[in-house]
Amino acid sequence: MSFLSLSPLDVAIAALLLVLNALLSLMLRLGLVKQMLIAAIRMVVQLLLLGLVLKVLFDLASPLVTSAMGLIMILFAGREVMARQARPLAGWWTYGLGTGAMLFAGTVVTVFALTTQVRPDPWYEARVAIPLLGMILGNTMTGIALGLDSLLTSAARERSAIEARLTLGHTVTEAMSGVVRDALRHGLIPIINSMSAVGLVYIPGMMTGQILAGIEPMEAVKYQLLIMFLIAGGTTLGVLGAVLAASRRLTDSRHRLRLDRLSAANGD
Amino acid sequence: MLSIQGLTRPGIKPFSLELNAGECVALTGPSGSGKTLLLRAIADLDPNRGSVFLDRVSRDDIDAPAWRRSVGYLAAESGWWADAVGTHFADHDQAAALLPELGIVADALAWPVARLSTGERQRLAFARLALVSPKVMLLDEPTSGLDAEAVDMMEAILSQRLAAGAAILLVTHAAEQARRLATRHLRMTDGMVAEAPV
């Protein structure tokens, strides 16, 4: 077993590729130099900060601080969900529903993994809990963002079809079934794709990391399988929760479609 | 049969109406005066206030789907939620019997919705609602854009329904049609409804 440690100089040499990138952009007048520079600086600062935060977090080994870190990650994920919406619910509803669904799915799946499969000692050990939560959240976030966007935009687009069912005396659950089903499908497609393509089209980052760190491939595979199952479970729970809750918010007890609860459309 | 007292919603001034069995009331008015909003409020498709009774039972005591099966609203623009025409009809035998009365072949049930013309959509949407047999029909321009023959056919069905005891609130731009079907005439301007001479 060997772990190949990197010196700062090694990293700096890799950064030369970015200079190549910038030269290309200048030569072809792509106008990307400034954006690229800012993105690169952000990446360096964010990751260095993350390294520092994780070091402190692991040393503290406090369940309270670890949960606080988890919560902050979930709040940021909620912001990302919100940013992907063409037509969010008015007020804080989209943020609230997205964040709530991630809080629920992320917590349930992470605690489930920590207490029954990975079992670090103590079970809430930050070194395991935080990366696990991060991987689950990253995927759940994408699923929820796509699912909510699909539900809210198609409910507005399909208004006459939904209301045609309502006027014929169908319940709001029946009337919304088409757009709800489409939204769930949109939210779950990325995880289904990544399960089908994994190993053939790409080697997942975590598994690559473990192999680079000197772990036997089969051990890394077992870990990757576990993670994929957790991600699939978290995404399903999160997408289901967010889409069903948003569908309820878009309708009311008198079986009406409440598009007035969407924020005004951009650009029309 | 249908009794409305002080029905209001944004854009609609308090509205009251007694609609009896077998009666057709025509509602006219310029575009944007609130006719569609009023029909939607009676069907309870948008939040609204006021009391509405059907055969002396308050709307508040009836769940919304049952209310809309009794007080059927036909939107000016039809909506379709599946690709096949047939999916939109619960009972194909009944539908196949009714469609020829509207000048549409029964085979249309097997067609894709995308193949329908605007006029066919309009008549099929009417057939879909008529087959639910609502006691009261709220019709928003049911014949606009139909040719004279199709208009006659639809009016014949409406007359049959009236004779059988249904009640109709009919939004129409055609004064002739209002005269043929309606016994009373209402006119709407800026959200306010007033009796008008027949």
Predicted pLDDT of residue A265 = 65
Q: Is the peptide bond before A88 cis (omega within 30 degrees of 0)?
A: no
Alpha-carbon distance of A37 to A23, in angstroms, equals 12
Considering the domain architecture, whether residues A257 and A143 belong to the same structural domain is answered as yes
B136-175 pLDDT per residue, tens:
999 999 998 899 999 999 999 999 999 999 999 999 988 8
Domain with B143 in it: what CATH number?
A: 3.40.50.300
Q: With bands split at pLDDT 50, 70 and 90, how would you rate the model's confidence at A2?
A: low
Closest residue by Cα to residue A148 from A95, A216, A223, A107: A95
Q: With bands split at pLDDT 50, 70 and 90, how would you rate the model's confidence at A201?
A: confident
- B65–A163: do the CB atoms touch at under 8 Å? no
- B64–A256: do the CB atoms touch at under 8 Å? yes
Predicted pLDDT of residue A266 = 54
Q: Is the pTM of this model over 0.95?
A: no
Sign of CA dihedral B161, B165, B167, B170: positive
Predicted pLDDT of residue A81 = 93
> What's the order of all strands across the beta sheet hosting B49-54?
B12-19, B2-9, B49-54, B57-58
Mean pLDDT of chain B: 95
Q: With bands split at pLDDT 50, 70 and 90, how would you rate the model's confidence at A121?
A: confident
Contacting residues of A for B72, CB less than 8 Å apart: 167-168
The whole-angstrom distance between A237's CA and the closest CA on chain B is 27
Considering only A29-38, A213-222, B83-92, which range has the smallest mean pLDDT? A29-38
The whole-angstrom distance between A250's CA and the closest CA on chain B is 12
DSSP 8-state secondary structure symbol assigned to residue B86: G
CB-count exposure of residue A226 (10 Å: 0-12, 13-18, 19+): middle
Domain end among A41, A60, A79? A60
Model confidence at A268: pLDDT above 80: no
Average pLDDT of the segment spanning B105-127? 95
Predicted pLDDT of residue A1 = 47
Model confidence at B198: pLDDT above 70: no
Considering the domain architecture, whether residues A208 and A187 belong to the same structural domain is answered as yes
Which residues form the domain of B138? Answer: 21-46+71-196
Alpha-carbon distance of A256 to A250, in angstroms, equals 8
- A161–B80: do the CB atoms touch at under 8 Å? yes
Residue A74 domain-assigned (yes or no): yes
Q: Which residues lie below 8 Å from residue A200, measured CB to CB, with a gap of 6+?
A: none
Predicted pLDDT of residue A35 = 86
Specify the number of domains making up chain A. Answer: 2
Closest residue by Cα to residue A109 from A240, A21, A227: A227
Considering the domain architecture, whether residues A18 and A107 belong to the same structural domain is answered as no
Considering the domain architecture, whether residues A161 and A35 belong to the same structural domain is answered as no
| Chain B residue at shortest CA distance from A166 | B65
Considering the domain architecture, whether residues A241 and A181 belong to the same structural domain is answered as yes
B26-58 pLDDT per residue, tens:
999 999 999 999 999 999 999 999 999 999 999
Residue A268 domain-assigned (yes or no): no
- A168–B77: do the CB atoms touch at under 8 Å? no
Which residues form the domain of A7? Answer: 1-60
Considering the domain architecture, whether residues A228 and A194 belong to the same structural domain is answered as yes
Is A1 within 8 Å of A214 (Cβ atoms)?
Answer: yes
Mutate to test the interface with A, among B68, B83, B91 (most CBs of A within 10 A): B68
The proportion of chain A whose per-residue pLDDT surpasses 90, expressed as a percent, equals 76
Alpha-carbon distance of B154 to B159, in angstroms, equals 9
Specify the number of domains making up chain B. Answer: 1
Predicted pLDDT of residue A75 = 96
| Chain B residue at shortest CA distance from A161 | B79
Model confidence at A171: pLDDT above 80: yes
